[in-house]
Amino acid sequence: MLACAVGVITAIGCQTHRNFSETVSNDTSSIDAIMQMVDAGAPAITFPDASTAPRTVRSIDDFASLQYRDMSLQETIHTALQHSQVMRDLGATILRAPQTVVTDQTKSLAELDPQTSIESALAAYDAQFYALGKWQNNDRRFNNRFFGGGANAFKQDTHDYVFQLSKRTATGAEFAVRNVIDYDANNATGNLTDSAWQSQIHAEMRQPLMQGGGLQFNRIAGPAAQPGIYAGVLIAKVNNDITSAKFRQGARDYISNVINAYWDLYFAYRDLDSKRDALERSRETWQNYEAQKSSNRKAGASEAFAREQYFRFQSELQDAVAGKLIQRTQVNNSTSGGTFAGQGGVLASERRLRLLIGLPISDDALIRPSDEPLNAPMTFDWDSISVEAIRLRSELQQQRLLVKRREMETLAAKNFLMPTLDLVTIYRVRGLDKDLAGDNSAFNQLGTLDYQEYEASLELKLPVGFRQGYLAVRHAKAQLARELAVLEEQERQILHDLSAVVGESDRAFTQMETNLNRYLAARDALQILDANRAAGLPVNLEQLLDAQRRVTEAQSRYFLSMVEYTVAAKNVQFEKGTLLQTANLFLVDESTSPVLLTESRNGASSVPDDAS
């Protein structure tokens, strides 16, 4: 019977304590060890590998002689995913607000939350076992025999035992099966026996007929819900889906930042090439005019102009090697996917890429991009990409889920406009005898079902005016109206941002063609001037120096517009919610936490599927 189940349940319950000494005993060795570290200021236990000193512009003698590690964009993304326990960004959020950082545990934390998860909501319907044992001895005198059971001195020993198993249902009902055993031994003169055992079996049901009842309310709000506090299974499911969408958003932003940093580094190398070529040209010009100055064939001013240009290009080359600590291309700098910043600096850009993809901040070899930017024209089908953006963007998915949650909360709130009316029924079987078990015992009489009882009742509770209920409904409707308004504005914002990056893509492509023509024209002009000078024809020095500057600037602008075009094309995929698919990535939702994996196709396509 229920008494037998007590031992089984108790034994099972004890097995759940993996370390009994750490749960209920007075052994404080574990917490003492932790507090020793706290009192010591929580010193570092391990240190990351920082054996390689960072490269700087002063520590590099010959940039061309360094070791390089050529990496494709696909390999860079693979490397990032292998070290993506934390979805890194370039704003040091991990230091400023570490609790907001998306990690590979984000979804599992939501699924394992003991207060708001689906399992937590389901736990309200778990069967509950309750047991009570009570022992009492009474020894007293009475002035009236009536109160002492026929005697002035009353002595009594009592035992009370209760074993109950209860469970809630999805309709709001609560069922309970209860075994009540009591033992009474006293000296009352009217007793049949000196002591007696009584055993009862109760079957009880409490069903809410109005407020708190019904499948819809309990699935939304959960049992014993309060106005404005809804924690049912369906609400938990929506919250879990919102967390999944946030994880996808974090993964998308992370991959976007990796791609941005990759093309930042590509441009840094190309910008370095143009500055290095410019420095070499200016050195030759300076040496030529310096030789002419020593032979008194040219005035010293010409040599000084050429020397100034040389050191100007040397300064620009130093910046192209080292870079400056300023904001680079990253998510949400002017556009959601990141507007190309156009800042050079190989060492700074390489460190940023290493930070994002999880490699040591400094190494023996410098990372060097091996992929080339886009240079083919693309035309986007606006009807198609606008529909994709509204359908696939993570932010809109989260907001639409929030709207659905508010709709469910509105339905649940209307339940509080009804009074509380509960139907309570109890069926009871009794047995009484001198012994608890065996022949002529309470259990034996209980089994005969000779003594049966039944009772039913209705309990009504009606708040006059339903003030709180009406507040709950109005509040839920106001929240729903707000979320719908936010959703509408989010859709308008996303369409605006999508149209902006489509326009940016066309602008960057046009600029790429224009800057290519500009570079070719500047190069032709410089070649003509160099040819005239080599032939001994008179050449205007200022015109020559200006032509050298123009070639360098035009070459750098051409590569800049190429990268701008590539980043803009990536941002179109970002805005319409297909960046992960375009990079051949998909989410695998395992038992607890989702992870990013790559498909077995070759390469991360830079050309959108809906572009021609």
Q: What CATH number is given to the structural domain containing 320?
A: 1.20.1600.10
Same domain? For 443 and 575 the reply is no
Instruction: Check residue 194 and give its pLDDT.
Output: 83
Kindly tell me if the per-residue pLDDT of 251 is higher than 60: yes
Q: How confident is the model at residue 259 (pLDDT cuts 50, 70, 90)?
A: very high
Q: What average pLDDT does this structure show over 112-126?
A: 91
Kindly tell me if the per-residue pLDDT of 114 is higher than 50: yes
By percentage, how much of the chain surpasses pLDDT 90?
56
Instruction: Check residue 67 and give its pLDDT.
Output: 87
Q: How confident is the model at residue 289 (pLDDT cuts 50, 70, 90)?
A: confident
270 domain residue, yes or no: yes
Same domain? For 135 and 219 the reply is yes
Same domain? For 435 and 496 the reply is no
Q: What average pLDDT does this structure show over 215-234?
A: 92
Residues in the chain: 612
Instruction: Check residue 22 and give its pLDDT.
Output: 65
Kindly tell me if the per-residue pLDDT of 503 is higher than 90: yes
30 domain residue, yes or no: no
Q: How confident is the model at residue 299 (pLDDT cuts 50, 70, 90)?
A: low
Q: How confident is the model at residue 65 (pLDDT cuts 50, 70, 90)?
A: confident
Residue 535 main-chain phi, psi, to 5 deg:
-85, 0
62 domain residue, yes or no: no
- Give the containing element (helix H, strand E) for 569: helix 541-575
Instruction: Check residue 170 and give its pLDDT.
Output: 92
Helix count (H) and strand count (E) of the chain? 16, 10
Give dist(CA 491, CA 313) in Å, integer.
48
Q: What average pLDDT does this structure show over 498-514?
A: 95
Q: What average pLDDT does this structure show over 401-417?
A: 95
Range with lowest mean pLDDT among 45-54, 407-416, 446-455: 45-54
373 domain residue, yes or no: yes
Residue-averaged pLDDT of the chain: 86
Q: What average pLDDT does this structure show over 349-375?
A: 91
Ranked by mean pLDDT, which of 23-27, 265-269, 344-348 comes out on top?
265-269
Kindly tell me if the per-residue pLDDT of 97 is higher than 70: yes
Q: How confident is the model at residue 595 (pLDDT cuts 50, 70, 90)?
A: low
Instruction: Check residue 227 and give its pLDDT.
Output: 92
Tell me the pLDDT tens digit for each residue of 310-352.
999 999 999 998 888 888 888 888 888 889 888 888 999 999 9
Q: How confident is the model at residue 21 (pLDDT cuts 50, 70, 90)?
A: low
Same domain? For 214 and 246 the reply is no
Q: What average pLDDT does this structure show over 477-504?
A: 96
Looking at the structure of the chain, the number of domains it has is 2
Give dist(CA 516, CA 51) in Å, integer.
43
Q: What average pLDDT does this structure show over 460-467?
A: 92
By percentage, how much of the chain surpasses pLDDT 70?
88
Residue 72, judged by CB atoms within 10 A of its CB (0-12, 13-18, 19+), counts as middle
In 3D, which of 181, 146, 195, 572 has the Cα closest to residue 392?
572
Paired sense of beta strands 594-598 and 585-589, if any:
antiparallel
Kindly tell me if the per-residue pLDDT of 88 is higher than 50: yes
Q: How confident is the model at residue 604 (pLDDT cuts 50, 70, 90)?
A: very low
Instruction: Check residue 44 and give its pLDDT.
Output: 80
Q: How confident is the model at residue 605 (pLDDT cuts 50, 70, 90)?
A: very low
Q: Under 8 Å CB-to-CB from 26, ≥6 apart: which residues?
A: none
6 domain residue, yes or no: no
Same domain? For 277 and 316 the reply is yes
- pTM comes to 0.86
453 domain residue, yes or no: yes
In 3D, which of 491, 492, 507, 494 has the Cα closest to residue 567?
507
Q: How many CA atoms lie within 13 A of 604 on its CB side?
A: 28
Instruction: Check residue 145 and give its pLDDT.
Output: 64
Same domain? For 497 and 437 the reply is no
Instruction: Check residue 11 and give its pLDDT.
Output: 45
Q: Under 8 Å CB-to-CB from 60, ≥6 apart: which residues?
A: 66, 321
- DSSP-assigned beta bridge partners for residue 456: 425
Same domain? For 425 and 313 the reply is no
Q: How confident is the model at residue 590 (pLDDT cuts 50, 70, 90)?
A: very low
Angle at the Cα of 555 from the Cα atoms of 553 and 559, rounded to 5 degrees? 115
Instruction: Check residue 499 and give its pLDDT.
Output: 95
Kindly tell me if the per-residue pLDDT of 20 is higher than 70: no
Same domain? For 147 and 278 the reply is no
Residue 465 main-chain phi, psi, to 5 deg:
95, -25
Same domain? For 290 and 265 the reply is yes
Tell me the two tokens of residue 64: 């061309």
344 domain residue, yes or no: yes
Same domain? For 433 and 349 the reply is no
370 domain residue, yes or no: yes
Same domain? For 221 and 283 the reply is no
Q: What average pLDDT does this structure show over 347-373?
A: 91
Q: What amino acid is encoded at 513 in this protein?
A: E
In which domain, by residue range, is 501 found?
73-82+85-103+241-383+490-583
Kindly tell me if the per-residue pLDDT of 506 is higher than 80: yes
Instruction: Check residue 40 and give its pLDDT.
Output: 85
Instruction: Check residue 596 and give its pLDDT.
Output: 55
Q: How confident is the model at residue 28 (pLDDT cuts 50, 70, 90)?
A: confident
Tell me the two tokens of residue 388: 């994709």
Q: Which residue has the higher pLDDT, 85 or 517?
A: 517
Instruction: Check residue 128 and give its pLDDT.
Output: 95
Give dist(CA 277, CA 555) in Å, integer.
10
The residue among 444, 461, 478 that closes a domain is 461
Q: What average pLDDT does this structure show over 415-432?
A: 95
Same domain? For 194 and 328 the reply is no
Q: Which residue has the higher pLDDT, 288 or 17?
A: 288
334 three-state secondary structure: coil
Q: 394-413 and 233-294 helices cross at what angle (nearest 10)?
A: 160
Q: What average pLDDT does this structure show over 602-612?
A: 43
Q: How many CA atoms lie within 13 A of 128 on its CB side?
A: 12
Residue 528 main-chain phi, psi, to 5 deg:
-65, -45
